[in-house]
Structure formats: C-alpha cells, structure tokens
Amino acid sequence: MTGKSRKKFMVGNGAATGKRIRSFSPVLLAFLFFLGAPVPALAVVGADHSAFGPILFSLGMLVILAKFAGLLTEGLGQPSVLGELLVGILLGNAASSLLAKAGFEFIRSDPTLQILAEMGVLILLFDVGLEVDLRAMLRVGPSAILVGLIGVAAPFIFGWAVAAWLLPESPTLVHVFTGATLSATSVGITARVLKDLGKMQSHEAQIIVGAAVIDDILGLVALAIVSAAVRAAASGGAGVSVVLILGILVRAILFLGVTIGLGRYLTAPIVRLASWTGERGILLVFGLALCFTLAFAAELVGLAGIIGAFAAGVMLDPYGEGVRTPEDQATLSELMHPLATLFVPLFFVLIGMKVALGNIGDPAILLLGTMLVVAALGGKLLAALGVLQQGVNRLAVGMGMVPRGEVGLVFAGIGSTLSLKGEAVISPGEFSAIVLMVLVTTLLAPVGLRWAFRRPS
C-alpha cells in the first residue's frame, strides 16, 4: 500500500516519539490503576445504571493502550500496528485474568466494540482508496504490473499449498482462504525505510509502490472471490466451481469498475454540493456516508464490505490529489485522520486479543506458522522476477514487497468471522499462525531492505 496512506503506521522520529511516550505515561498509569482496582468496574456502575459505561471506559482504555504501544514500537523503528497488535495479544493472554478480575472479560466478544472495530477497517480501506493514483499506476510501467501480478499469485498459491499439506482434513476453501491472507502487500514501513535510505526516487521504490497498489486491488478481488465462495458453500451451494469463481470475479471487477468510473463524473458535483452548504468539514460527512453506503452495496452483491469502502475512496479521489472544499484547509484524508486514530487501532487490539499464545506453542501450529512465513517470504521474493529493466536491484524490490502488516490482519479477521460447516474458516489455531506470519514478515522487511541495498544489483 502507498506510503502516504500508511503514515499512521510508520516509524516516527526517535526523540519526538520518546517525548510523546513520556507525556502519555501518566494517563496510561491512571488507566492501569483503575483497571487493577479490587472492585470490578461492572459492580461499580451498578445494575440500575446504563450498561454502556463499561463499554465506553473499555473503548478509552483500549485506545490509550494501543496508542502508547504504537509509540513504543515506533521508537524501536517499527510500525505502530505491531504495538497495537502486541498489546492486544498481551491483554488476551498474560493480562486476561486481570481483565476478568476487573470485570472486563466481555471485551473479547462485545458486539458494540466489534462494530466500532469494523468501522475502523472500513475507514482504513476508505483512506487507502483516497490515496490511490490511477494515473500513477499507468505510469509505473510493465515491471510494476508484472511484479504486482506475481506478488499476488505466488504467495496465494504457496499459502494454499502449505494449508493443504498441513491441514489436510480442512475443506479446500479453508486452504484457499489461507492463501488469500498471504496475497496483498502493506508497504508503509517499506516506504519509510526507502525514505531514510534516500531511495524514494529510485527505480526500485517506484516499482515497489506501483506494484503494492496493484497488489491491494488484486488482493481485494481475491478476498472477494474467496469470501463469496465460502458464503455460497455455507448456504448449501454446489461449492467451488469455475462458473462460481468466474461469476464472483466478474461481479468484483464490475463493482470496482463502475464505482471507480463514476468518480470521474460524480466527484466534482459531490464536492460542489458539500461546498454549497457552507459548512466546514461537511465533506467528511459526505465521504463517510458514501463509504458506508458502498460497503453495504458490496455486501448486497456478495462481496466484502471493505471492497465498497476502498471503491468509495478511489471514486471520490481517483488521482490521489487530495479532495477538499474551499471552506476546508484540510483534505478529506486529513479530515479523517482523527477518526482513523480512534477506530483503526481498536480493530488491531481486538485482533490481537483473538490470538492464543498457547496455540503457537502447539508444534502443529508452530509448524504451520513457520511454513506460512516461508511461503510469504518466498512468494514476494519471487515477484522480483517481474522486474524487466536492467540495473534494478531485484532483491530490494522483493524485500520491499514482503511486509503484510495490517492487510494480512484484515484478511485473517474476515476469515475468523466466516463459517463453513459450522466452524470458522480461520480457526483460532490457524489465526495464531497467520498473526505469527504477519509479525515476522513485518519485522524482517526493514532489516532485509537495508541489507539488499548494500548488495550489488
């Protein structure tokens, strides 16, 4: 994904990060003290009071913890999404007894928090769509296109093969969905490393960013196909067939094509209508309304809601220029930043709470996670074969495509909500293995990229 759209997950300045961490510490300690109090919070509010009190406090607590953990990981040179994920893993495992003692064990499955987290995913994909520049995709040339195609197909096939080998009793759709979680690329941390190395204007960087955008779109299409196939099979359909796959593929392409194509004609009228109201920030309301509406429309035609959210972003700003009204100094993407800061980390914390560390200790799950890491690395490194120009550092291109970050987590989270034959498509054990893959690939990418640029092309 484009570096600009990932600014909230990227590495920050060390000194500034340390200062922000120190300013957050008193707030964090206050929350932890309250959480560790001997009187359960639910008992404090009483049976006659609104049940939303504990939920609201939980929301504040999770966001504060996520932000603090994100700042810590940024200070260590890693994206904040890792800190948000790790704090969720900590709350779901080492601190689970503390949560239960304080009366907050409901956080894992509370439907209100889950809905807010799902809103965070839609906002994230909407923001990604706003940053996509369709003209830049045409300018990056055949190398980026070929790298993007291989970068989706190779890890998809490798992940499918690993799941079929190590999970032979699972349905074929489980194997296919596992492959889909390996397909897309999250390149925010890569973009920051390239900037630090002074390589953002290099041929390698241009190919990586262009290919990552293509990966985003193809990965979303792959997710739409697999998710719809799972729903069809779960509803008593005939299962996977060439006709079914082609039908879903046509629906996904038509949906993206029509909605994005309409952006050329509707963006200006929408902005003029927002400007006509004279209200500052009204474009944010229009944008979110379109995001949620297209997410619903995508689900109506059998696609994932995040497809609609992504399409809404591209529809409103097809060239990534930063759409705004005359009344607003900030672009729509900038107006959305406070909402993203609140809701997106909540999603990753709750994702982390689903990870059972005991599962990773299981030799079978550990083997699955290790092989998924190998498949994820091998598939993206293989994508470097798509570089057609001479003199380009192919190893650097391959390493730049490696990190999965938030993309893999979104895919795995969707898989954990889908069911097939009464069981989750992504089981708790497999979910833990996929999270392990995401952690390892995201941590390895910066180190590998720096090493690759020290080697000859």
| Average pLDDT estimate for 357-371 | 87
Name the β-bridge partners of 419. 424
CATH of the domain at 261: 1.20.1530.20
Pair 142, 94 in one domain: no
Examine the domain organization and report whether 71 and 139 are in the same domain: no
* Mean per-residue pLDDT of the chain: 79
- Report which of 211, 239, 171 is spatially closest to residue 401, judged by C-alpha positions: 211
Task: State how far the Cα of 253 lies from the Cα of 265, in Å rounded to an integer.
Answer: 19
Full residue range of the structural domain in which residue 98 is found: 4-114
Do 310 and 380 lie in one domain? The reply is: yes
Q: Flag whether pLDDT at 154 surpasses 90.
A: yes
Out of 64, 92, 114, pick the residue that ends a domain: 114
Contact 245, 225 (CB under 8 A): yes
Nearest to 217 by CA among 135, 314, 293: 314
Q: What total number of domains does the chain contain?
A: 2
State the Cα–Cα distance between residues 445 and 404, nearest whole angstrom: 9
| 32-41, 73-82, 282-291: segment of lowest average pLDDT | 32-41
Residue 55: predicted pLDDT: 81
Q: Are residues 64 and 208 both part of a single domain?
A: no
pLDDT tens, 18-63?
A: 555 555 555 555 555 554 444 444 444 444 445 677 788 888 888 8
Verify that 84 and 142 share a domain, yes or no: no
Tell me phi and psi for residue 103, to 5 degrees.
85, 20
Mean pLDDT of 176-191: 79
User: What's the pTM value of the predicted model, to 2 decimals?
Assistant: 0.75
Cα separations in angstroms, 188 against 61, 280, 445:
26, 30, 11
pLDDT at 297 over 70: yes
Q: Which two tokens stand for residue 259?
A: 């909605």
pLDDT at 293: 93
- Token code pair at residue 32: 């932890």
Main-chain dihedrals φ then ψ at residue 133, nearest 5 degrees: -110, 105
- Is the pLDDT confidence value at 4 over 70? no
236 φ, ψ (degrees, to nearest 5)? 95, 15
Residue 180 has pLDDT above 80, yes or no: yes
- Residue 165 amino acid letter: W
Q: Render pLDDT for 125-139 as a digit per residue (tens, 0 to 9).
A: 888 788 777 776 666
Chain centroid, CA 401 distance in Å? 15
Instruction: Report, as an integer, the average pLDDT of 227-255.
Output: 74
Same-domain status, 242 and 357: yes
Q: Which of 114, 141, 163 is the last residue of a domain?
A: 114
Residue of 266, 420, 346 whose CA lies nearest to 84: 346
pLDDT, residue 379, reads 93
Report whether 75 contacts 13 (CB < 8 A).
Answer: no
- Residue 252: what pLDDT? 82
Share of the chain above pLDDT 90, in %: 12
What are the distances in angstroms from CA 331 to CA 131, 185, 271, 338? 11, 25, 11, 13
| Distance in angstroms (rounded) separating the CA atoms of residues 67 and 154 | 35
**Does residue 402 share a domain with residue 272?**
yes
Q: What is the mean pLDDT of residues 374-403?
A: 89
- Amino acid in position 399: M
Does one domain contain both 63 and 130?
no
Q: Do 220 and 364 fall into the same domain?
A: yes
Check residue 113 and give its pLDDT.
Answer: 86
Asked if residue 351 lies in contact with residue 406, where contact means CB atoms within 8 angstroms, the answer is: no
Distance, CA of 214 to CA of 142 (rounded, Å) = 12
Written as one letter, the residue type at 156 is F
CB count within 10 Å of CB 279 equals 13
Q: Which helix (H) or strand (E) holds 420?
A: strand 419-420
The one-letter amino acid code at 250 reads: V
**238 pLDDT above the threshold of 60:** no
294 and 443 inside one domain: yes
The mean per-residue pLDDT over the stretch 208-230 comes to: 80
Domain edge (last residue) among 114, 131, 151: 114
Report which of residues 27 and 409 the model is more confident about. 409
Whether 325 and 424 share a structural domain: yes
The mean pLDDT value for 86-93 works out to 84
**pLDDT given for residue 382 in this prediction:** 93
72 and 182 assigned to the same domain = no
Please give the structure tokens belonging to residue 46: 């009483």
